[in-house]
Amino acid sequence: MIAFLALQLLLSEPVPLHEWLPHPPPPTELLVVPFEGDTRRGLLLESLAGLAERHALDHGPGTMLWEKLDNTDYARWLQAFRAAHQPKCTDVTLEAALRELVALGMVKGYLLYHFDGSNRPLHTLGPHDESANVATSLAGVLGGVAVAEELEPMAQAAGLKLLVDCRTLSESDCLARYGDAFAKAAVGTGEPRTRNARSLMIAHRLFVSSGTGEAYPRSLARCEPDSPVIGWGIAPEDQQTLASSRAGLFQTATNWCHNLPVLSSERPGRDIPWSSLHVAEPSRPSLQPERGKHYVCLTLTDGDNIQWMMGNFMGGSEGHYYYGHPRRGEIPFTWGVPAEGLLELSPRTLSDILTTARPKDDFVLYSGGGYFYPDLYGSARVEDCVALHARRLRPVMERTGIRVLAFNFQHWDSDAALRACAAMARQMPGLLGILAFQYYPYSAGDGAIHWVDGADGDRVPVVSCRYTVWAKTGRPADTTPSRVAALLNGLPTVGDTASAADFSWVLVHAWSRFRAPKAGVLRDDEDEVPQDSDQGGSRGYDAAPWTAQRLDPHVVPVGAAELLELIRAGAAPAAGR
């Protein structure tokens, strides 16, 4: 049945992609501005980039901004963009870019804010000044740039007038006073002490919240169901995501993305060929679990994290730990990717990932392109947000050929979670399966498998995480490469028949550091390895071969798609169960 459904998908006309937000046309001119490490100047740069995108949305192709980063991936994407679209490129200072956009009529004035200079750690709760978020919200609505007090003379020298003094307005005041002017297709969240991705918020006239306080749930509730949250706020991860999940919105973790206006101007199928955005699944016509074997899929994902995929996943300062690892491909290994989000915001990034895949690389769709808890998604709404998200995710699966989903649940096997999985499966014919992990701990399911009814009579496995390769947790199931390997070596193997106990899905924590294990020593790979520095250890992909090299011959690493096909072939419930 599953092979027949997959063939149908290949022969049928794909469903059109759902677009989160309108997309500007590619620019005819790029003002290339040096990287701005100072947040105040960076927020001014983001304001200009956002207003330039807004102008392109309203008036057609013209001038946009590109910030020149010391990052190999962004440099490569700019080179490819220039080759594809031939824009006129001019290197300018930030001051010159401001003058140029003022002269072009893109900037109507400035919004004054007070920069939060506290010592509060980034993206953590604590006293904070909201005026940078208020200025960002109003910049798109009023057509101005967000200007810190220290940069006011620069704005005045460019001939700009003060539009609103945001220093006296809270986020709640702003939403109450200007609420009707903000778009309902998305909401922005921002740490007041950072500036990235605000260009997108300004271009699309989004309300911007710190992700805490009473303005945050109000801003979520006013949005359309199954909409994105752009950026990242200051509340704890679960607190932000619980609120957005209940409201039927998904997080995108875009808080460190750069150059989104330009990168999102390219569209799949028009500027980026669909062939470069598709993973060819190998043919495995007679795949059956082999007697005496235990099968394990090792997966690394922080897959909701679009900014990481665009920054340090392939290149940058940390890509050598992850997809840029020189030994990637030596074992079957699975990567979680936010394909839907990348198709929306930077399809060139997704193309880069998929076209450089090696034969043993496999992929799963992490929620499609956002972070939400399916067992809570839209619980505060009348609409069925899970089914809506699945309908919108189906063309992503069809176009990319990635037929496995991975989700983070609050309670992975609750009735609400399994209903959400069934809703996904019904809306996505050809889905191989769903990999499920719990917010805390990831391994709460202990490898159990549930089955839900999918499309056209198909039964779809929901496979829970059995172990995680995670440093210094104190939890027996979430431990070092050596200990996870020892646990896997002791698990049951396929006999006359197969069962859920013969298959394991193991998550490799993206941020844990280990050292290469020594023969006969189980805990040495995490002892005395600092988790907050690169000294004395490695992280990311290295943990996978360090686990695999300690597996006994009967434990076989496979990719996610192969694991699910083996489970379907050998451990599916009897008809009628």
- pLDDT by residue (tens digit) across 463-501? 999 999 999 999 999 999 999 999 999 999 999 999 999
104-124 pLDDT per residue, tens: 999 999 999 999 988 999 999
346-384 pLDDT per residue, tens: 999 999 999 999 999 999 998 766 899 999 999 999 999
CA atoms within 13 A on the CB side of 330: 13
Give mean pLDDT, residues 133-161: 98
Query: Cβ contacts of residue 5 below 8 Å, gap of 6+?
Result: 429, 430, 455, 456, 458
CA 210 – CA 389 distance, rounded (Å):
25
Q: How far, CA to CA in Å, does 404 sit from each of 103, 344, 367, 545?
A: 50, 20, 10, 23
Percent of the chain with pLDDT over 90: 88
- Do the beta carbons of residue 15 and residue 394 sit within 8 Å? yes
- Do the beta carbons of residue 376 and residue 245 sit within 8 Å? yes
**pLDDT confidence of residue 575:** 55
3-class SS of residue 402: coil
- Residue 64 — pLDDT band, cuts 50, 70, 90? very high
* DSSP letter, residue 490: T
- Do the beta carbons of residue 74 and residue 32 sit within 8 Å? no
- Do the beta carbons of residue 254 and residue 200 sit within 8 Å? yes
pLDDT, averaged across the chain:
94
Give mean pLDDT, residues 501-514: 96
**pLDDT confidence of residue 369:** 66
For residue 288, which of 492, 499, 566, 568 has the smallest C-alpha distance?
A: 566
CA 272 – CA 26 distance, rounded (Å):
12
- Residue 5 — pLDDT band, cuts 50, 70, 90? very low
* pLDDT of 186 above 80: yes
- Residue 10 — pLDDT band, cuts 50, 70, 90? very low
pTM (2 d.p.): 0.94
* pLDDT of 303 above 70: no
Per-residue three-class SS string for 340-377:
HHHHHHCHHHHHHHHHCCCCCEEEEEECCCCECCCCCC
CA angle 486, 489, 492 (to 5 degrees): 135
In 127-191, alpha helices (H): 131-142, 152-157, 171-178
* Identity of the residue numbered 472: K
CA 81 – CA 83 distance, rounded (Å):
5
* pLDDT of 8 above 50: no
Question: And the tokens for 207?
Answer: 């309300």
Percent of the chain with pLDDT over 70: 95
Between residues 14 and 293, the one the model is more confident about: 293
- Residue 425 — pLDDT band, cuts 50, 70, 90? very high
**pLDDT confidence of residue 4:** 43
Between residues 99 and 573, the one the model is more confident about: 99
Place of tokens 């909401």: 187
Domains in the chain, start-ordered, CATH in brackets?
29-263 (no CATH), 292-571 (3.20.20.490)
Give mean pLDDT, residues 501-520: 91
**pLDDT confidence of residue 574:** 72
**What phi, psi does 518 have (nearest 5°)?**
-95, 150
**pLDDT confidence of residue 281:** 74
221-238 pLDDT per residue, tens: 999 999 999 999 999 999
CA 412 – CA 422 distance, rounded (Å):
13
